[in-house]
Structure 1
């Protein structure tokens, strides 16, 4: 059904599907190469690869989580017009990407269309995070990324360790509470953290784009088929701990999914994310050159459990005995989003054509939040999942609304 499996997989990942399937205070914040030696070597810095050449100052940071993962963070302290970096006149904003992508996903459009650069040009102090396992955060104090132990995590660990580490770095560097932007999985980890009372002393407000929490209504057939495979036997046959979308075994797995007669893999962008209205070809080409990134297979299984179980809970180890060993109960604990307090004002922006962050699932999320004055909602009828970060009209429709929301807090 697909003549070139490698190109197919790149198209699949670049389409935005993998945006879904889309820690306390660090002991020390590091920059440059001052981190203790561990496994893995950093690639070319994101600042040099995508930001400096556009006329922006950019700083590289590395921080270590309390479970030893070495994470990369980039700071754009000012816009192209210059001005003093940092300070109370430049509020900090932390951008958190989705799954199977990294911080580069925010920088694939021109400076006038890319959210980090727009924020910097409009007076914000911008911080871009890269979660564990992606190319800029593929290091650990003692664990080797080539070994299974490195990949023993799900988005639960992103909530517990990575997100808190990022927030602590920005807060400690700026001495200010942080505005937060999360797309897709970046929204999920924030909601999960807020539901457990985390980060209220660090985060000032949060804008969640294509928010992901409940997934029982997503309309992408390929997404549903993939979710069933990840919680079934198909993944165990692969025997993978790292899920590298460019890998040979993963390619075979995805080709097998496309053999399903219900799945149309010829128009992946529409089939997986919904009918994105506003992407241009050059942006998609840049995305295919830079993404996808690895994640843990366990992480994808966890996301697929959310589809299967129609609830938002911690990772299910597959048996009552194992869950008791990890959680002290036969079932994994549920993230109760109704416990999110009014301490953090939220803006949720979602689209009518989004096949992943489905309208009904977002409405269920809104019902669960039980927030009134501190919750703002934006519905964009013709937007799908990827439009919210890469759409050529996103500045006018989404990013300006986000900046206005931040300034009003």
Structure 2
């Protein structure tokens, strides 16, 4: 039974990589979205929406949340960015009756909170000149988040508030945020960084499924789909596999989380409580970028393999490498990570910590990857330490 279960999990994870562009392209949103009214205003908090574009033309939505403190010039701004395959409303999913939501917890503590949404996700899904059916719309990886999206958010918030920004990123956005901080041109807008489950050095993962995806099947599938201009679509098993509601007594979503996160994903959290947040999109090129990082255990820009391809993109025969040592000592860093994390393995995070020059950490030994976002104990284990860190570096 265990072998059959692992076979099913491997097939379903790889099958997600084959969903075509035509199946799961979120609708382009109107001039004003319903994010504020759906996720923030029911809690009696103020919420305003800002719409901007990255330097390469992608629409980026930004939501500012407050309860009176967000307009206070003394309130330090905080930008909170979501994980891959998700969007900003994932921060508004409860996991327990006594649960706290990180954005609202920070507003109550006197911070000026902003929620960002990565390009091509549910709330940031337009472009100045490209349609979603254009292959160029999907020609990006997390490196474009670091080169364009995060700097655009930081610059905007700094211009509005007159203050550098506390950056909080989960998983992919932790990786992109750290890459932004390693770039001297962008780092001036950062006051502090909180990196939750940064999958920067992922080569030491003990996940057989992730290894198979990175080294064999996924590379073949994702390369073919990238060349055809497709994207991976929303990682939503209810939509991708209609009619499949249970495998061995578990929901497909719970099984997928277990595969890519770890054997104890979410520490008892009910998957139904956060399925609404699981509807971001991702490009096949980005999936290839992750596979490159896992195979080489390096933190670098997308490798076009050929010297000519890299020279055209970067001016040299190799893809440039990011160096944690390049992050200024003026930027204090908090790293929160799990001991059972397959996507951001403990050895990889500890390698990162050994190379950062002004960092502290919180290790949660029993946590897998998405426990860091959805654990029923996240308030006391993760959110309170983050709040205390920000308080020390206001």
Offset, 1:112: 4.1
Aligned residues: 360
**Could you give the per-residue CA deviations for residues 295-320 of structure 1, whole angstroms, max 9, x where no partner exists?**
11111111111011221111111212
Instruction: Give the alignment of 1:227-306 within 5 angstroms.
Output: 227-229=214-216, 232-238=219-225, 239-245=228-234, 267-274=255-262, 275-276=264-265, 278-281=267-270, 284-306=271-293
Instruction: Give the alignment of 1:157-196 within 5 angstroms.
Output: 157-196=144-183
Counterpart position of 2:304: 317
Counterpart position of 2:24: none
2:29 equivalent to 1:41: yes
Counterpart position of 1:88: 73
Over 3 Å counting, the alpha-carbon distance change for 1:47 and 1:230 in structure 2 is farther
Structural RMSD (CA): 2.9
Residue from 382, 388, 392 that aligns with 1:404: 388
**Could you give the per-residue CA deviations for residues 329-388 of structure 1, whole angstroms, max 9, x where no partner exists?**
22111112222220200011111121211111111111222x1xx311111122221122
How far apart are the structure 1 equivalents of 2:127 and 2:361? 39
Counterpart position of 2:370: 386
Indicate if the aligned counterparts of 2:181 and 2:190 stay in contact, CA closer than 8 A.
no
Offset, 1:245: 3.5
Give the match's secondary structure for 1:157: helix
Counterpart position of 1:156: 143
Offset, 1:194: 1.7
Give the match's secondary structure for 2:160: helix
2:89 equivalent to 1:104: yes
**Could you give the per-residue CA deviations for residues 81-133 of structure 1, whole angstroms, max 9, x where no partner exists?**
xx343223321110011211110111111794221111112211110000110
Flag structure 2 segments of 5+ consecutive residues without an equivalent.
17-26, 245-251
Over 3 Å counting, the alpha-carbon distance change for 1:265 and 1:387 in structure 2 is closer
Counterpart position of 2:23: none
How far apart are the structure 2 equivalents of 1:338 and 1:230? 34
Bigger shift: 114-123 or 125-134? 114-123
Give the match's secondary structure for 1:142: coil
Offset, 1:240: 4.3
Residue from 57, 60, 69 that aligns with 1:71: 60
Indicate if the aligned counterparts of 1:276 and 1:353 stay in contact, CA closer than 8 A.
no
Over 3 Å counting, the alpha-carbon distance change for 1:41 and 1:276 in structure 2 is closer
How far apart are the structure 2 equivalents of 1:216 and 1:85? 41
Offset, 1:241: 2.6
Give the match's secondary structure for 2:186: coil
Indicate if the aligned counterparts of 1:277 and 1:382 stay in contact, CA closer than 8 A.
no
Residue from 357, 360, 381 that aligns with 1:376: 360
Indicate if the aligned counterparts of 1:200 and 1:343 stay in contact, CA closer than 8 A.
no
2:333 equivalent to 1:346: yes
Offset, 1:228: 2.6
Bigger shift: 99-108 or 41-50? 41-50
Residue from 165, 186, 194 that aligns with 1:207: 194
Flag structure 1 segments of 5+ consecutive residues without an equivalent.
14-38, 256-263
TM-score by length of 1: 0.81
Over 3 Å counting, the alpha-carbon distance change for 1:266 and 1:349 in structure 2 is closer
Over 3 Å counting, the alpha-carbon distance change for 1:116 and 1:332 in structure 2 is same
Offset, 1:270: 2.7
How far apart are the structure 2 equivalents of 1:169 and 1:151? 24
How far apart are the structure 2 equivalents of 1:113 and 1:266? 22
